Amino acid sequence: MAADIGFGSLFITLIVALYGVGAAIYGERNKDNMWVDSARNAMLLTFPLLTISVASLIYLLVTDQYQIAYVARVSSRSMPVYLKVAALWGSQAGSLVFWSWLLAAFASAVTLRKWDRERDLLPWVIVVSLGTLAFFLVMNIFFENPFAKLWQTAQRVVIAMTAPENALPLVPRDGQGLNPLLRHPGMVIHPPMQYLGFVAFIIPYAFAMASLITGRADDSWIRITRKWTLWAWLFLSLGLVLGMRWAYDVLGWGGYWGWDPVEISAFMPWLTGTAFLHSVMIQEKRVMFKQWNMVLIILTYDLVIFGTFLTRSGVLSSVHSFAQSAIGPLFFVFIALTLTASLGLVLYRWDDLKSKNSLKSFFSREALFLLNNLLFLGILVASFWGVIFPLISELATGQKVTVGPPFYERATAPLFGGLMLLMGVAPLAAWGYSSWKTLNRSLVKPFFASLTVIPVTFALGIWQPWYAVLAFWLIGFVITVTICEFWRGSMSRARRFDENFFAALWQLVKRHRRRYGGYIIHLSMILMALGILGIEVFQAETQGTIAQGESLQLGVYSMTYERLDNFDTDDGRNLARAMVSVSKNGKEVGKLYPRRDYFYDSQQFVTIPGVRSTLADDFYVILIDWKPISQAGATFKIYHNPLVKWMWIGAWVFTFGILVAAWPEKKPHSPRQTRIRS
């Protein structure tokens, strides 16, 4: 029953969405606001309708209705309720419903804004949003239906909405359960965050397309969606970081990022989105790069669609081996169509989008922003190249050749380094005209101040490799420049308005939120870079089998195996949990409990590391094997991951920076207030 309601609601939403697209186009063509308003109401209606579908699916999951094929596959009786709910996005069909629901929510939120001045954009925003929604609903209804039931005919099991001839309902006693690796709090919040980020980027795209279709060459679409884009970017970034954290905490291989095609596909829209966030500022400031911004948001949109599809279907790894999804070709057709149509529109409006201004100097702010964009796109191209290289090589030579993490590291590290350098240099460059001389003058002091980082790294015993020393210096340089910017701004304000330093700092940030929020985000990126540098370059590891009471050594650390407990839990797991004590320089600093969980329902082990995390380093222990009878010996692998904690700290700072930049303003500033520092 709930399944029929959920499915019916999906179907009605599709009809409503298609009606909305038609009504919006008709109303726009005939200048009839009644039809446009009707389309707007249709868009508002999609959200409650899809809420019914999502609620039905959650109900089916929570009440263990295993006749539903999707429920049988991703849920099981032993799973706690929060995981049953999270199983909504445990596999492709449910993920797509969840995705559509988020899109409907965002589209509705957009519909409710005041449209007085941009009313001409409204019909096209509706067409793009509802068109995208309709595509995902078609996927759900005709190809990946989460409400389909299991039926037993004389010969085989059939998955269908309604009973085939001579078939009886097949109701398994229990489901297969969510993949044990996904049964983790990090996995409960990582996919929704990622999806929020993905879906929120649809909205700026819809406005960009509306602006192109109506021929509005101004930047109203950018101003309207600026805050949207920031929130989208926040969610996308947090989605990525949470995924890394989950990998670090659960996958038990001492790392956080493996340049897997799925990870890359989630990373690619982040790259174009980040480039977009930067380059729209040039359009606002200097009325330049209009065509470029259009291209960036179009790329982001299609990479979002690509990522949504890829993160759940595994088509790229499947090219050689993995199970293929029925909806692959349709996704590629949709991406090809939207990409061609959008880029075609940009070409059609090319002349309207031409800028009067042009680049004047290599060292102007806008030129450096452009360089930033080139570097982001360079990383994008390298990532995309790595993912599709097997396909290309097979087409070209008949021989499949793949590239692994070393390719990505080697190809992207210099580009990331370039971006870091820009974070240090660009904030000091002026708009329009900025010669090397003027830029140099503001660079000299922070540059020499940051050079002190190098003797410090040497004093800490880090001479090798040279690029690590260079990276440490870069980190120091960006931090110096950024703090100087806060300092200079506050000091000049303090002098001017006779405020104390902290009041001046508060006012400074409050009145230039995007600028200083941006600097906080730069700092957060630098902190993350510090963590990545630590684990990527200075990770050390060792392994060994030791009896109880014996120790393993790794650098200044030593780890003693104390005992092992082996027991069953209520939720269908068998735990083997070791207790080890960790000493640093001979002094005990704590106990860790690395463990291996065996899941009876899926007959699978999950290795959970024990981690002692400090600002300086992580001590990371994996229990690899143990002797069941004597419990005397066990095998451990231990990692020393310097500085990695700064990655997670950076993520918090990042969130704070976005909040500073994107928090809704109380009232518009008067022009006088904005002249304080320009």
Residue closer to other proteins (CB basis): 38 or 229: 229
Residue closer to other proteins (CB basis): 181 or 589: 181
Q: Minimum distance between the CB of residue 279 and other proteins, rounded to whole angstroms? A: 12
User: Regarding beta strands 587-592 and 157-160, do their DSSP bridges make them parallel or antiparallel, or are they unpaired?
Assistant: unpaired
Residue closer to other proteins (CB basis): 30 or 543: 543
Residue closer to other proteins (CB basis): 329 or 344: 329
Secondary structure element (H or E) that encloses residue 14, with its range:
helix 2-29
Q: Nearest-CA neighbor of 221 among 372, 346, 85, 375?
A: 346
Q: How far is 219 from 38, CA to CA, in rounded Å? A: 27
Residue found under tokens 């419903």: 97
Residue closer to other proteins (CB basis): 166 or 357: 357
Q: How far is 65 from 54, CA to CA, in rounded Å? A: 15
Q: Minimum distance between the CB of residue 518 and other proteins, rounded to whole angstroms? A: 5
Q: How far is 164 from 177, CA to CA, in rounded Å? A: 26
Q: How far is 336 from 316, CA to CA, in rounded Å? A: 17
DSSP collapsed to 3 states, 460-516: CCCCCCHHHHHHHHHHHHHHHHHHHHHHHHHHHHHHHHCCCHHHHHHHHHHHCHHHH
Q: Minimum distance between the CB of residue 545 and other proteins, rounded to whole angstroms? A: 5
Q: Which two tokens stand for residue 208?
A: 């960009």
Q: Minimum distance between the CB of residue 21 and other proteins, rounded to whole angstroms? A: 32
| 519-549 b/e (C-beta count within 10 Å ≥ 16 → b) | bbbbbbbbbbbbbbbbbbbbbeeeebebebe
Residue closer to other proteins (CB basis): 574 or 602: 602
Residue closer to other proteins (CB basis): 115 or 389: 389
DSSP collapsed to 3 states, 617-648: EEEEEEEEEECCCCCCEEEEEEEEEECCHHHH
Cα separations (Å) of 476 from 58, 424, 448, 472, 516?
A: 49, 9, 11, 6, 19
Residue closer to other proteins (CB basis): 4 or 284: 284
Describe the crossing of helices 290-313 and 185-200 by its angle, rounded to 10 degrees: 150
Q: Minimum distance between the CB of residue 454 and other proteins, rounded to whole angstroms? A: 26
Secondary structure element (H or E) that encloses residue 357, with its range:
none
Question: Residue 354 in 3-state DSSP?
Answer: coil
Q: Minimum distance between the CB of residue 378 and other proteins, rounded to whole angstroms? A: 4
Q: Minimum distance between the CB of residue 67 and other proteins, rounded to whole angstroms? A: 19
Question: Which amino acid is present at 335?
Answer: I
Residue closer to other proteins (CB basis): 40 or 312: 312
Q: Minimum distance between the CB of residue 130 and other proteins, rounded to whole angstroms? A: 29
Q: Minimum distance between the CB of residue 41 and other proteins, rounded to whole angstroms? A: 32
Asked if 251 and 536 touch (Cβ cutoff 8 Å), the reply is no
Asked if 89 and 42 touch (Cβ cutoff 8 Å), the reply is no
Q: Which two tokens stand for residue 232?
A: 């989208």
Q: Minimum distance between the CB of residue 129 and other proteins, rounded to whole angstroms? A: 26
Residue closer to other proteins (CB basis): 8 or 417: 417
Residue closer to other proteins (CB basis): 76 or 111: 76
What count of residues does the chain have? 678
Residue closer to other proteins (CB basis): 15 or 401: 401
Residue closer to other proteins (CB basis): 9 or 412: 412
Question: Which amino acid is present at 240?
Answer: L
Q: Minimum distance between the CB of residue 150 and other proteins, rounded to whole angstroms? A: 16
Question: Which amino acid is present at 297?
Answer: I
Q: Minimum distance between the CB of residue 207 and other proteins, rounded to whole angstroms? A: 17
Residue closer to other proteins (CB basis): 129 or 325: 325
Q: Minimum distance between the CB of residue 661 and other proteins, rounded to whole angstroms? A: 8
Q: Which two tokens stand for residue 67?
A: 């006749």
Q: Minimum distance between the CB of residue 248 and other proteins, rounded to whole angstroms? A: 12
Asked if 638 and 542 touch (Cβ cutoff 8 Å), the reply is yes
Residue found under tokens 């409710």: 112
Q: Fill in the DSSP letter of residue 451.
A: T
Question: Which amino acid is present at 122?
Answer: L
Q: Minimum distance between the CB of residue 408 and other proteins, rounded to whole angstroms? A: 8
The four Cα atoms 632, 633, 634, 639 give a dihedral, to 10 degrees, of 120
* Ramachandran quadrant class, 649 (left: phi over 0; alpha: psi -120 to 50; beta: rest): alpha
Q: Which two tokens stand for residue 387?
A: 């993912």
Residue closer to other proteins (CB basis): 126 or 182: 182
